[in-house]
């Protein structure tokens, strides 16, 4: 579990072991009840502590959940640098598959995705902790592949990003099927073949004839 530093007064002297217990309870409560259904009282009961311990660390439920987003997002994002498009794609697809295979993470992500549409604070935290790091990692290895001549210079990055995550997301979220090593390998090969076709609109028309 990623260590977080709460936002309440005197957070620097608060016991990390108590914070970790509260965070674990809050993650479990958020996954079970959702953002709208969770409360500071319910988290305190699950953690076996009083609400005062929570409010010493966070001024509100929203502030606590913003920190929890960092915990949920703590799964490793591939750093890149392999120097080979195939290896980078496989590592990225595997990271997506590992995230989607965690039912607790997925329940939280789906719930907070819906809640973020109504809550600007959660939306900003969600974008900063989850979307941006993954997009940055993806863009980094795609641009490197362009520089190496493995992908076209006019690569449509947004379309390429959709391709990298879309197939795996569809399989898990829409069919509920497992994502195993053979699926990751087959999907990666398909993506590697399709990435050079992720061009600007005019270039795609040319490819299609």
Most confident of 72-76, 110-114, 192-196: 192-196
- Which phi-psi region, left, alpha or beta, contains residue 14 (left: φ > 0; alpha: ψ -120 to 50)? beta
The pLDDT assigned to 204 comes to 44
**Spatial distance between the Cα atoms of 186 and 163, rounded to a whole number of angstroms:** 14
Residue 206 has pLDDT above 50, yes or no: no
Least confident of 29-33, 96-100, 180-184: 96-100
Quick one: 85-208 is in which CATH superfamily?
Tetracycline Repressor, domain 2 (1.10.357.10)
Dihedrals phi, psi of 182, to nearest 5 degrees: -65, -35
Of 89, 115, 116, 103, the residue nearest 185 (C-alpha): 89
* CATH number belonging to the domain at 11-72, selected among 3.60.40.10, 1.10.10.410, 3.40.1190.20, 1.10.10.60: 1.10.10.60
Residue 209 binned pLDDT confidence (cut-offs 50, 70, 90): very low
Torsional class of 176: left (φ above 0), alpha (ψ -120 to 50), beta (otherwise): left
Residue 154's nearest CA partner among 189, 191, 190, 206 is: 206
Numbered ranges of CATH 1.10.357.10 in the chain: 85-208
Q: What is the pLDDT of residue 176?
A: 67
Per-residue pLDDT band at 35 (split at 50, 70, 90)? very high
Range list for CATH 1.10.10.60 in the chain: 11-72
Q: Is residue 10 very low, low, confident or very high in pLDDT (cuts 50, 70, 90)?
A: very low
What is the percent of the chain where pLDDT is above 90? 38
Q: What is the pLDDT of residues 78-137, one digit of tens each?
A: 665 667 899 889 988 888 888 777 888 888 888 988 998 999 988 998 888 877 887 888
Q: Are the C-beta atoms of residues 47 and 25 closer than 8 Å to each other?
A: yes
**Band (11; pLDDT cuts 50, 70, 90):** very low
DSSP state letter for 59:
S
DSSP code per residue over 170-192: HIIIII-----HHHHHHHHHHHH
User: What is residue 187's predicted lDDT score, i.e. its pLDDT?
Assistant: 92
With a CB cutoff of 8 Å and minimum separation 6, the contacts of 99 are 75, 105, 106, 109
The angle subtended at Cα 109 by Cα 96 and Cα 142, nearest 5°, is 35
Strand partners, 199: 155
- Report how far residue 73's alpha carbon sits from residue 130's, in angstroms, rounded to the nearest whole number: 6
Which are the contacts of 31, defined by CB distance < 8 A and separation ≥ 6? Answer: 104, 107, 108
> What would the mean pLDDT of 192-204 be, rounded to a whole number?
76
Q: For residue 54, is pLDDT > 90?
A: yes
Q: What's the pLDDT score for residue 5?
A: 53
- Is the pLDDT at 173 greater than 50? The verdict is yes
pLDDT (tens digit, 9 = 90+) per residue, 110-120? 898 899 899 99
């Amino acid at each position: 579990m990623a260590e977080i530093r709460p936002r309440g007064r005197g957070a620097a002297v608060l016991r990390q072991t108590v914070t970790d217990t509260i965070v674990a309870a809050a993650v479990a409560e958020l996954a079970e009840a959702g953002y709208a259904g969770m409360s500071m009282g319910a988290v305190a009961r699950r953690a076996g502590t009083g609400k005062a311990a929570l409010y010493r660390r966070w001024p509100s439920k929203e502030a606590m959940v913003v920190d929890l987003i960092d915990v949920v997002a703590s799964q490793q994002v591939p750093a890149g640098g392999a120097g080979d498009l195939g290896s980078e794609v496989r590592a990225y697809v595997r990271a997506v598959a590992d995230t989607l295979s965690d039912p607790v993470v997925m329940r939280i992500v789906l719930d907070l995705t819906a809640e973020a549409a109504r809550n600007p604070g959660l939306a900003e935290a969600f974008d900063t902790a989850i979307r941006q790091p993954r997009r940055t990692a993806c863009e980094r290895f795609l641009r490197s592949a362009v520089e190496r001549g493995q992908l076209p210079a006019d690569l449509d990055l947004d379309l390429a990003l959709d391709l990298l995550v879309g197939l795996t997301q569809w399989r898990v979220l829409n069919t509920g099927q497992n994502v195993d090593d053979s699926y990751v390998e087959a999907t990666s090969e398909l993506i590697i073949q399709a990435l050079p076709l992720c061009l600007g609109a005019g270039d795609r028309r040319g490819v299609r004839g």
